[in-house]
Structure 1
Amino acid sequence: MRIDSAADLDLSDSGPIELSAALIDRLRATRAAVLNALATGAPVYGVNTGMGALSKVRLTEAEQRIHQRNLLLARAAGGEPWLPPAEARAVLMGRLKTFLTGDSGVSPELCLQLVAFLNSGLSPAIPAGGAGSAGEIIPLAHAFGPLAGIGSLLVDGAVVPAAGKLPSFELGPKEGIALLAGIPGATGRAWLQVSVARRLTDTLSLTAAGGIAVIGASRDPYSPLCARGDELLAAELEVILRAAGPEAEPRSLQAPVSFRVAGQVISHLRRSVLRLEEAVERAFTGVTDSPAFLDGDFVGTAGFHGIDLAAHCDQLVAALAHAAEVSTARIHRLLDPGVTGLSAQLAVEPGPQAGLVTVHKRAVATSHYLRRLALPSAIGALETSAGQEDVQSFSWEAAGVLGEAVRLTREVAACELLAVHQAFALSRRPVPAGLRELFGAVADVVPPIVADRPFGVDLARLLDRLV
């Protein structure tokens, strides 16, 4: 991937990264301006001063020479559990993307060191929790210490010292604080979940359509006429109606609510994913460094307060929790002969066989866990740094909760997908044309269910390949 500007950096590209000569020249010009501005001796937070409550302390020239590296030392106060490699890479990519805007004023050599880190395939040991600051200084200190030969890496699941694993690099003026500034980690991690959540939403939509088809539900609630004033809902209803196909003889005048509201639930989930994607774009486009180098001056900013990103992560978590609860309710209804006209609990021989009752129970437990995650992350600010940092947005934590919520909702979706698959098998109804690709893929990984077995194995296959 050849990069000419920050906009060119695609976080989904896992291939090698190369910065163009023109981009390197622009970074070098900005760096020269930064060094000229610093040469005046005017106070610049975190460069020739202390940090936080110690920002009034001026540093000597000797102290400044080691200060940027020292910033990464004491702030690396986190611990296990560590982020998985995909999330760690998203953090590094997020930082590189912000550096390429020029706001940080770092050297092209630091950017190239970061590129070398990404291209190496090495993964820094970044704590999943414990940010606790107005920005992300604790996890970012862990993430970028290896650039300066300190900190740790994860190699085959083991934590090893980073020293000697990357080319030696000495951080210059402002480069340590630049590595710790803003919310690149939460932004990168949130971006990572957007694409997963979008695929998950598609699966939930088609799975719900399968349930609607297999129980012979009335198609009235899915008429686009019911979506007046809401284009997103209208589009979702059309998707569900097309996938489920027509039903000439509904089993009842009204299906259970969990089936009837599928369009509203899933379109809300899509809207929440879209809003988070927009918040991620704002975070990457906006100014989050502090101090940022803007129009030739160092400007103290509040861009590290990622409330916009945190709030939209929280909104998506709530949407996922609701979608999972509705999905869990549909699973329960699919086990009911009064709703489906099929055998109890979708067992081939009810009584001697338990059927899928415990699959529903797993979904219940998972939904309950999801519900506990739905408390907004941004609530609960506490003072730190002797009152200098008296509020936080907890965007790092919000991104982490979102990742967990996506994982749990995928589990529930797999449970519903398995139940709908078995309901089709027992009903002998033909799978509608719009659902044949999905349920054909399910049949490829789930053998026919003719007796009880450890259904966790089937769910694991669905999670690994389809959900």
Structure 2
Amino acid sequence: MLITQASEVDPSSAEPVEIAQPLLDRLAAIRAEVLRSLTSGDPVYGVNTGMGAMSKVRLTEAEQRIHQRNLLLGRAVGGPPWLPPAEVRAVLLGRLRTFLNGDAGVSAELIQQLVALINSGSLPRIPSEGAGSAGEIIPLAHAFGPLVGIGPSALTPYELGPKEGIALLAGIPGATGRAALHVTRAGRLADQLTAVAAGAIAVVGANRAPYQPLAGRGDAVLAGELARLLELAGPEAEPRSLQAPVSFRVAGQVIAHVRRSVADLDAAVGRAFDGVTDSPAYLGGEFVGTAGFHGIDLTAYCDHLVAALAHAAEVSAARLHRLLDAGVTGLPAQLAHTPGPQAGLVAVHKRAVATTHQLRRLTLPTAIGTAETSNGQEDVQSFSWEAVGNLAEALRLTREVTACELLAVYQAFLLAKRPLPANLQAVADVVPAIVADRPFGEDLTRLLETVLQP
């Protein structure tokens, strides 16, 4: 339950991407239609016109030949910090996934070039911040510049054909791909939250009544979460009290809400991948300007999940505080092996408090605070790129708080001289028995790098 797959942490271990020939043939046929349509000379945004406030400017044939590459060149204005490799790969896969719908009308050759970039292992540097536009043209310009010889690249530069440059920059494929990655990570984190909360419930001898699946009537997600907690915590014949502290009793509701939020974001990712995100999109035999770049759906559900994680972290930190209380656990104060001369895990709780405080500041709705750009042509943003970045940070911080609680649960089992539950046995493999104060940050780092990997 607590172990991740290496391919998500290290993209070099992922399976190569391949596109089936029938799909390539279908996309090639759409591309032929697009090229025929462009011979009419009718204005097509970003193809034979400028972009943004310059969309009324018609381009000569000579200008059109260099325009598609220039679209990437002039918009690569980002810089460090860069996305981690797993998220870079998610951006590239997100773009590939949207191209396979056919709306962009790009060539099979460009798609194969994109596949080669994904499989090359030489990933581009994509800025993690500073998108600041109605879509995500700045990070996408960095993502696909290597295809045309802009920036570091191990690939032979590809000559973009008509519409292919603007297609690379259209929509929100980066935020969608990253959100898809984080959906997987958030689902795994929910499992980790369940395992740690169940350990805490077991070690304090909490009354199991609140975790009866019947208490989840009318809510299948809650009923399932209660059943998992009850199974992992095991029975308790003699509870220490009639009611454990609230932070223990509400574990099912809190984690069920995280799981619902993950499912909501997953559905939004599906809508983003299946919907029309290109603009202009080639739909029904003609070019149609769309607003597929306005990712408010994705932004809202990223924010929703961030808030759910912040609440889960707050509840985890509260349980951790109770685990330090001898009146709740019946164990030595602050889970110290020798209270008094030793401080125990009190500072671990302080780290959890600071981390939770940092997490709370991510819960401001991302789409609030639009501003005009491009001489007023772009006067609204949804900031989906920033929203998914907040989510990545929220996942990291929630994992930190979870590690703090997990270390306390582990120490409580040791002091109680009770065997660790099977699903937490991996902790003992990386954290030595705690018999004296020591730099517990090292233990937390080992837990984050092994047992609680993203």
Q: Which amino acid aligns with 1:460?
A: T
2:244 corresponds to which of 245, 248, 255: 255
Superposition map of 1:37-48 within 5 A? 37-48=37-48
Q: Which amino acid aligns with 1:198?
A: G
8 A contact 2:146–2:157 mirrored in 1:
no
Match of 1:158 in 2: none
Match of 2:183 in 1: 194
Match of 1:374 in 2: 363
1:345 aligns with 2:372: no
Distance 2:293 2:41 in 1: 25
Superposition map of 1:155-304 within 5 A? 161-162=152-153, 165-304=154-293
What is the SS of the residue equivalent to 1:50?
A: coil
Q: Which amino acid aligns with 2:318?
A: A
TM-score (norm 2): 0.96
Q: 1:214 to 1:347 in 2, by over 3 A?
A: same
Question: Shift of the alpha carbon at 1:418?
Answer: 0.7
Question: Shift of the alpha carbon at 1:415?
Answer: 0.7
Percent identity for Structure 1 against Structure 2: 73
Q: Which amino acid aligns with 2:316?
A: S
Q: Which amino acid aligns with 2:321?
A: H
Distance 2:208 2:157 in 1: 65
Match of 2:427 in 1: 442
What is the SS of the residue equivalent to 2:441?
A: helix
Match of 1:4 in 2: none
Q: Which amino acid aligns with 1:280?
A: V
1:355 aligns with 2:340: no
> What are the superposed Cα offsets for residues 76-104 of structure 1, whole Å, 9 maximum, x if unpaired?
11111011111111101110111111110
Question: Shift of the alpha carbon at 1:430?
Answer: 4.0
Match of 1:451 in 2: 436
What is the SS of the residue equivalent to 1:72?
A: helix
Question: Shift of the alpha carbon at 1:295?
Answer: 1.2
Match of 1:328 in 2: 317
Q: Count the aligned residue pairs.
A: 442
Question: Shift of the alpha carbon at 1:304?
Answer: 0.7
1:460 corresponds to which of 440, 445, 453: 445
Match of 1:155 in 2: none
Q: Which amino acid aligns with 1:461?
A: R
Distance 2:110 2:213 in 1: 54
Distance 2:184 2:199 in 1: 23
8 A contact 2:12–2:121 mirrored in 1:
no
Question: Shift of the alpha carbon at 1:18?
Answer: 2.1
Q: Which amino acid aligns with 1:97?
A: R
TM-score (norm 1): 0.93
1:385 aligns with 2:374: yes
Question: Shift of the alpha carbon at 1:270?
Answer: 0.5
1:141 aligns with 2:126: no
Distance 1:354 1:333 in 2: 16
Distance 2:80 2:227 in 1: 46
Distance 1:192 1:376 in 2: 21
Match of 1:50 in 2: 50
Q: Which amino acid aligns with 1:440?
A: Q
Distance 1:335 1:226 in 2: 29
What is the SS of the residue equivalent to 2:361?
A: helix
Distance 2:75 2:356 in 1: 36
What is the SS of the residue equivalent to 2:448?
A: helix
Q: Which amino acid aligns with 1:455?
A: F
Distance 2:20 2:218 in 1: 47
What is the SS of the residue equivalent to 2:132?
A: coil
Question: Shift of the alpha carbon at 1:367?
Answer: 0.5
Mean alpha-carbon deviation: is it higher for 386-395 or for 21-30?
A: 21-30
Q: Which amino acid aligns with 1:356?
A: L
Match of 2:94 in 1: 94
Gaps of 5+ in 1: 1-10, 152-160
Question: Shift of the alpha carbon at 1:200?
Answer: 0.9
Question: Shift of the alpha carbon at 1:12?
Answer: 12
Distance 1:421 1:69 in 2: 56
Match of 1:84 in 2: 84
Question: Shift of the alpha carbon at 1:125?
Answer: 1.1
8 A contact 2:50–2:56 mirrored in 1:
yes
Question: Shift of the alpha carbon at 1:438?
Answer: 2.2
1:404 aligns with 2:404: no
Question: Shift of the alpha carbon at 1:385?
Answer: 1.0
CA RMSD of aligned residues (A): 1.2
Distance 2:442 2:180 in 1: 30
